[in-house]
Amino acid sequence: MKKFLLIVFFIISGLISFSQNSTFGGNESGDGYYFGFNLMPSAGGGTNHFGIVHILPSGEKNIRIVTRHTFFAQIRGIQRSKANPKKEDLLKKHKIKNPEETLGNLWRLRYKEYPLLSRTRPPAGWSANDSIPYIPSKSQSGILAKFGILRMTDFCFGDNAFRLLQFMENATWVTTYKESF
């Protein structure tokens, strides 16, 4: 029954995540496009969404959800992207040493245990919330808010996304995050 409820939760969560004015288009000017991610499980079985965030002149955000593969190809400059018109390797530029591992660890910011069914038992997540295992503690939520994540559906994007990824590779920061009750 618990597994069934978790599956239903992830499906509903994935549908709700499109509530930030998600579109599959955008302004052709090339301005205001950023790479980002959120901490909501996707309907396709992922633990988070990757996307291209476009900030409109009104301040409204349009978010185009992309696959993990597309995200990596665009952020590394292999594939054309409005968020990376110079085709730079932005992960290298921002000194993200282990991008596959670090982006693969995004789930750990939110969960105490790996949230999806798995044949092997992944390592523990970093959430310090003992009463609700699928959201970070209040103190951890305060840390995530500094990166623009006020709700799990919020996208962390642009400089905030790269800063968060850099911190996730710092063992001292991870320890501090894990111990924030």
The pLDDT value given to residue 18:
36
Can you say whether residue 90 is alpha, beta or left, with left for phi > 0 and alpha for psi between -120 and 50 degrees? alpha
In the predicted structure, residue 130 carries a pLDDT above the cut 70: yes
The pLDDT value given to residue 26:
32
Among the listed residues 59, 81, 65, the one whose alpha carbon sits nearest the alpha carbon of residue 14: 65
In the predicted structure, residue 113 carries a pLDDT above the cut 50: yes
Spatial distance between the Cα atoms of 80 and 47, rounded to a whole number of angstroms: 25
Spatial distance between the Cα atoms of 104 and 169, rounded to a whole number of angstroms: 12
The pLDDT value given to residue 118:
82
Domain carrying residue 170: 2-178
Q: What is the pLDDT of residues 73-106, one digit of tens each?
A: 999 999 999 999 999 999 999 999 999 999 999 9
Q: What is the pLDDT of residues 42-69, one digit of tens each?
A: 988 899 999 999 999 999 999 999 999 9
Mean pLDDT of the 107-132 span: 91
Residue in the block written with tokens 């349009």: 62
The pLDDT value given to residue 15:
36
Q: What is the pLDDT of residues 132-169, one digit of tens each?
A: 989 999 999 999 999 999 999 999 999 999 999 999 99
Domain count, the chain: 1
The packing angle between helices 171-178 and 159-168, to 10°, is 90
In the predicted structure, residue 19 carries a pLDDT above the cut 50: no
- The better pLDDT of the pair 25, 2 is held by 2
Can you say whether residue 106 is alpha, beta or left, with left for phi > 0 and alpha for psi between -120 and 50 degrees? alpha
The pLDDT value given to residue 119:
81
Distances 46 to 72, 98, 103, 113, 122 between C-alpha atoms, Å:
15, 19, 12, 15, 14
